[in-house]
Amino acid sequence: MIHPVAAFERIGEENAFAVLARATQLSAEGKDIINLGIGQPDFKTPEHIVEAAIKALRDGHHGYTPAAGLLETREAVCRRTLAMTGVEVSPDSVMIMPGGKPTMYSAIRMLGEPGTDILYPDPGFPIYRSMIEHVGANPVPVPVREENGFAFSAEETLSLITPQTRLLILNSPANPTGGVTPKSEIDRLVSGLADHPHVVILSDEIYDVMTYDGERHTSLLTYPEIRDRLIVLNGWSKTWAMTGWRMGWSIWPDDLIGYVRKLAVNCWSCVNAPSQFAGIAAIDGPQDSVNDMLAAFDRRRTLVTDRLNTLPGISCVLPKGAFYAFPNISGTGWKAKPLASALLEKAGVALIGGPDFGILGEGYIRVSCANSEANIDAAITRLGEFLEAEKG
């Protein structure tokens, strides 16, 4: 019997992948499954982006690129950052990463060790906590509350900072709640952070474009006073429907960029070149497909929320961002994970139990809007029928 070092006993999972595998297996067995578990857009990568990758390969771009990414791709990220936030960023601060997750890992690896605290949102993306535990740091959940519209609270976040805190992870618009933290709250947080200059901030802004009802995303980059200790995570996965391309970017402070470049050289060398050309086309090309996708998500989040709110025992806050709804199911008498699992096995509806996103996720389920309106409608009908049948 061989076994890895203890750190590998402390790696968690992203249960959405397990649910996807089970849903796929049930479908292959001929069951009629509606998948509202998935965290990736149900749209194809726009054609001009695909063409750019094919052209890059035909043009012979098959080799290594610099570890930080092609200068042209990093410059495209700078153009996009300026357009979205009004902030000028140097390509020297940008890393092209194989997806959003490697930025998470790099930041947590760089700042976490036994004896340090890392603050992360709960409920939140499960990989934050998993990686914090893996590196042996102390995970400190920052509650994200329904009564606050699933925005994080500056006051509560600041109250959790200790002299041991090395990293604070923020995520807005948020997975799994769809919460968007208003600028006023971020203003308060940043002004409070002046008293804690030892804390580095990792702002996960991968859903930055996905806000609704005129709500605007506030990038942490717009606060020059924390720029020297801010890491911004972003990427192509969600905005341009490119999850499988493994294309992300991050913006790093001067003191840390050299270390992440070295980590890249050691771990993955670089992101594949054709994807990086595709990434440029995504940023510089027409955005109609992005806008069409956002319009579809907007319609679906209203549909999901309206339909869920008609079911006894369920109440759902209208998500302000991303493409998830996070209904409160505590009135049904079900615990979230048994409900999610029974729904998949008995009613053919895949979704994720709230506890897969943290301790405070109990009493909630995550419903992804990455499916057609007809399928969403049918899935919620099944959910209602299931709850009714189980009652009787």
By CB under 6 A, name the binding residues for ligand PLP.
39, 99-101, 125, 171, 175, 204, 206, 235, 237, 243, 248
DSSP state of 8: G
The one-letter code for the residue type at 336 is A
Q: Give least dist CB 391 to ligand PLP, A.
A: 33
Rg (CA), the chain: 21
- Segment (H or E) for 187: helix 183-193
Q: Give least dist CB 256 to ligand PLP, A.
A: 19
Q: Which is nearer to ligand PLP, 100 or 348 (CB)?
A: 100
State the Cα–Cα distance between residues 41 and 270, nearest whole angstrom.
25
DSSP state of 328: B
Closest CA to 250 of 36, 374, 69: 69
Full DSSP string of 221-271: GG-GGGGGGEEEEEESTTTTT-GGG--EEEE--HHHHHHHHHHHHHHTSS-
Q: Which is nearer to ligand PLP, 172 or 332 (CB)?
A: 172
Q: Which is nearer to ligand PLP, 40 or 315 (CB)?
A: 40
The one-letter code for the residue type at 79 is R
Closest CA to 140 of 113, 167, 163, 117: 117
Cis peptide preceding 319, ω within 30 of 0: no
Q: Give least dist CB 110 to ligand PLP, A.
A: 17
Q: Which is nearer to ligand PLP, 314 or 367 (CB)?
A: 367
Q: Give least dist CB 39 to ligand PLP, A.
A: 4
Q: Give least dist CB 237 to ligand PLP, A.
A: 3
Q: Give least dist CB 42 to ligand PLP, A.
A: 14
